[in-house]
Amino acid sequence: MPQDTLSPAPASVPAPPRATRAPLLGLCSFLGLPVGGAAGWLAGVANHGVIAGAGTTGVAIGVLAAAAMGLVASMASRVRQERWPWLGIVGAVVSTAPLALFLVSMLLHR
């Protein structure tokens, strides 16, 4: 006989314990700023005088690296079901702030 999957489980079966892991990846989402700064600096050093617009190339790479690092760490913390989910979300927002400022400055540049 097929089992009904829509009905709730009987009261005698306990619910599985919720994972409460330390928020390591949530804290790592704040590392987007220094990682993005380092990536931007390295890109600026590598592109110095090679192509036109080299002044903004390092900044563009840096802000994209910061946003990507914050987003990936935030998503990974949610997948791991870490404690304090707001920590990873705030870290992703903080790491994405330079990208938002960069885009606004490019829109208002001329």
| Minimum mean pLDDT range among 5-19, 25-39, 60-74, 94-108 | 5-19
Residue range 25-80, pLDDT digits in tens: 889 999 999 999 999 888 888 877 666 655 678 888 899 999 999 999 999 998 98
Asked whether the whole model's pTM tops 0.95, one would answer no
Type of residue numbered 41 = W
- Is the predicted pLDDT of residue 14 greater than 80, yes or no? no
Residue 3: its pLDDT value, please? 63
Show the DSSP H helices in 1-110 as ranges.
24-28, 32-46, 54-79, 85-107
Record the tokens describing residue 43, joined without a space.
């890109």
